[in-house]
């Protein structure tokens, strides 16, 4: 795998076309790097939706549900990185070509035709989130195309054929069970650990073929990400309306749409320095603060997976988490600053990678 990985490639599609006999160590390393980029790509849009909720205490149920999904995705990113290092790979996160840009495609050519953008929480953004997480065969709504979960299934199958590649090297470990039973960042030291990690990533996002419920919940009855987003979009809880045959429908209690700051959609290249959306110096400072903290987070994560000293890795991981929390205040401040174009929309974070 080269040191420069372009998120705009169709590499996942190409990797899925490779025959089984060619899915060895190099295939796994490339696939897991793409998986890391996929998990990273979900964080900025979900965070924008979460942080745009005006009063999280008033809309606590929706705010908590999206926050739990964000923590799940952070755990998935960590597990994907551990899966890569256990087979001798080196995660690449701190590179302008590797970090997804918005609006733009998901990495690797998955979900062709889907453009991922950054905006506040709206019906349109909720539909986007659920399309990112969509299973091959949703229980409540039928679809026909292949999912991200299918990509992880192919990765699991390759591990099953090459268990000798699992070394347990350079693993990041962090307890996160307070966000769900499957959310601990654990060392991948055996095929059983591989199977468990991929199961968490797939089932938290998509549910199982038998149920929309998350098998690794923070609270009993918690749904998989796809169904959480569809519930908020539909404005109704998903409930089981028939046992035989089993049927689930959005026919439960009403879910009010939260009041959200009217964050506009971040344009290609960010808000820029000229034109109708050009920010004033104070707004530009806030935008730069988010971009800097985001980039620092990625650099610390990348460095954490490169050291053989566990204490150093833990310290770097803690620094990455600190930068993650540093994003919220400037991001929410941006969402309360009106664009100068008279649209009534507000600014929001760009999540652009910048060199340190």
What is the token pair recorded at 251? 């026919």
Helix (H) or strand (E) holding 342: none
Give the pLDDT score at 98: 92
User: What mean pLDDT is reported for the chain?
Assistant: 89
- pTM: predicted TM-score of the whole model, two decimal places: 0.91
Please give the DSSP secondary-structure letter assigned to residue 271. Answer: S
- Name the one residue in this structure whose structure tokens are 């650990």: 193
Please check whether residue 91 is in contact with residue 85, taking contact to mean a CB–CB distance below 8 angstroms.
yes
Q: Write out the DSSP string of 57-105.
A: TTTHHHHHHHHHHHHHHHHHHHHHHHHHHHTT-----S-TTTS--SSBP
Show me where the domains of the chain are located: 11-263
Angle, helices 60-86/225-234, rounded to nearest 10 degrees: 160
Q: pLDDT tens digits, residue range 219-270?
A: 666 788 889 999 999 999 998 898 888 888 999 999 999 999 999 999 999 9
Give the pLDDT score at 293: 97
Q: pLDDT tens digits, residue range 30-58?
A: 999 999 999 999 999 999 999 999 999 99
Q: Give me the mean pLDDT over the 11-38 stretch.
A: 94
What is the three-state SS of 145-200? CCCHHHHHHHHHHHHHHCHHHCCCCCCCCECCHHHCCCCCECCCCCHHHHHHHHHH
Q: pLDDT tens digits, residue range 178-220?
A: 655 567 899 999 999 999 999 888 877 554 444 576 555 556 6
Give the pLDDT score at 214: 55
Domain 11-263 adopts which CATH fold? Ferritin (1.20.1260)
């Amino acid at each position: 795998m080269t040191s420069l990985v372009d998120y705009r490639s169709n590499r996942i599609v190409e990797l899925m076309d490779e025959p089984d006999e060619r899915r060895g160590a190099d295939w796994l390393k490339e696939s897991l790097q793409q998986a890391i980029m996929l998990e990273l790509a979900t964080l900025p849009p979900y965070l924008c939706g979460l942080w745009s909720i005006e009063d999280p205490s008033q809309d606590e149920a929706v705010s908590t549900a999206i926050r739990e999904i964000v923590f799940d995705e952070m755990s998935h990113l960590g597990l994907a990185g551990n899966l890569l290092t256990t087979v001798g790979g080196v995660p690449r996160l701190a590179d302008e070509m590797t970090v997804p840009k918005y609006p733009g495609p998901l990495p690797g050519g998955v979900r062709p035709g889907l453009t991922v953008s950054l905006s506040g929480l709206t019906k349109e953004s909720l539909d986007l989130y659920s399309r990112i997480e969509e299973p091959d065969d949703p229980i409540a709504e039928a679809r026909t195309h292949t999912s991200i979960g299918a990509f992880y299934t192919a990765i699991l199958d390759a591990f099953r054929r090459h268990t000798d590649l699992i070394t347990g090297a350079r693993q990041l470990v962090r307890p996160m069970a307070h966000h769900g039973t499957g959310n601990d960042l654990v060392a991948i030291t055996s095929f059983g650990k591989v199977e468990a990690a991929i199961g968490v990533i797939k089932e938290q996002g998509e549910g199982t073929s038998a149920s929309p419920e998350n098998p690794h919940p923070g609270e009993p009855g918690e749904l998989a990400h796809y169904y959480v987003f569809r519930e908020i979009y539909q404005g109704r809880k998903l409930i089981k309306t028939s046992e035989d045959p089993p049927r689930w429908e959005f026919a439960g209690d009403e879910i009010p749409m939260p009041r959200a700051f009217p964050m506009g959609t971040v344009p290609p290249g960010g808000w820029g320095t000229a034109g109708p959306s050009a920010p004033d110096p104070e707004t530009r400072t806030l935008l730069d603060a988010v971009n800097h903290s985001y980039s620092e987070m990625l650099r610390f994560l990348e460095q954490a997976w490169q050291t053989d000293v566990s204490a150093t890795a833990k310290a770097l991981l803690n620094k990455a988490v600190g930068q993650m929390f540093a994003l919220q205040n400037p991001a929410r401040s941006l969402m309360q600053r009106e664009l100068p174009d008279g649209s009534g929309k507000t600014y929001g974070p760009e999540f652009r990678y910048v060199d340190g």
